[in-house]
Amino acid sequence: MASLMELKELFRSADAVCFDVDSTVIREEGIDELAKFCGVGDAVAEMTRRAMGGTVTFKAALTARLGLIRPSYEQVQKLISDNPPQLTPGIRELVSRLHQRGVQVFLISGGFQSIVEHVALQLNIPTANVFANRLKFYFNGEYAGFDETQPTAESGGKGKVIAHLKEQFHFKKVVMIGDGATDMEACPPGDCFIGFGGNVVRKQVKEKAKWYISHFDELLKELEER
C-alpha cells in the first residue's frame, strides 16, 4: 500500500485529476437543492440519508428520489439561474493551477449533467470532461426519467469512468478527489484517492482515506513543492 509521501508524489505527477462535484467542487448536494426547489426537500433528504447508509443501491435510490421530485426542464433551468451552485473556496485556483501544468481535469458526478456543466463552465473545464447523470424530459418539458445507461447511474460507476479514461487517453496516473464512499471506491482503477472534508465530513471516508484534506489550499501547496 502506498504511503502518504508516495500519494503526494503521485498527485504532483498525475496526468489527470478527477473531482467529485456535490459537497466537493460545490458546497451543496445538487439533488437535495433540486428537491427543496421543487417543494419535497425533507422527504428526499431522508431518502438521501438512507442511501448514504448503503442499504439500497445507488440506482434504486436515484430512481426513488427523482420519482418524488419529478423536476420539469423549466424547474431545473430556474434552479440554475436563481440558485447557482456555490463553488468551494480554493477550487478555482486549484483547477487553474492543474491546467497550467498540463494536467487534464474531469468532473465525475452522480449529480445531473445540466448542473455539473454549469460548474464546469465556471472552472474552464470542457463539457467533454464531464461525466454525470442525464435527466430526460418529454417534449412539453415534463420529467421523463433519467438515462440509466450512464455509468454514473450505477454503484461503482465512477471507477468505470476512470477505467474508460485510462483506456481512451492512456493516462498512467489518475487521482480521484471526493467526499464520499463512491469516490474512494473508484481507486482502483484510480491510482490515488484524496478524501475531502471541506463541506461535509463522512466518517467512513475520514477514517479510511490515507490522505484526507479539509481545504484545497493543501493541494495547491503540494503543487508548489515542485
Residue 86, C-alpha cell as written in the block = 456555490
Q: Comparing C-alpha atoms, which of 79, 80, 172, 63 is closest to residue 120?
A: 80
Tell which residue, 150, 68, 75, has the closest CA to residue 109. Answer: 150
438512507: which residue's cell?
Answer: 50
Do 107 and 129 form a contact (C-beta atoms < 8 A)? Answer: yes
183 as an active site residue: the answer is no
CA–CA separation, 64 and 48 (whole Å): 10
Phi/psi-derived region of residue 156, left when phi > 0, alpha when psi is between -120 and 50, beta in every other case: left
Residue reference for cell 476512470: 162
**Active-site residue (options: 20, 179, 183, 191):** 20
Phi, psi of 86 (to 5 degrees): -95, 120
DSSP state, residue 26 = B
Bridge partners of 143?
A: 137
What is the gyration radius of the CA atoms in the chain, in angstroms?
A: 17
Q: Is there a catalytic annotation at residue 22? A: yes
Which residues are annotated as catalytic?
20, 22
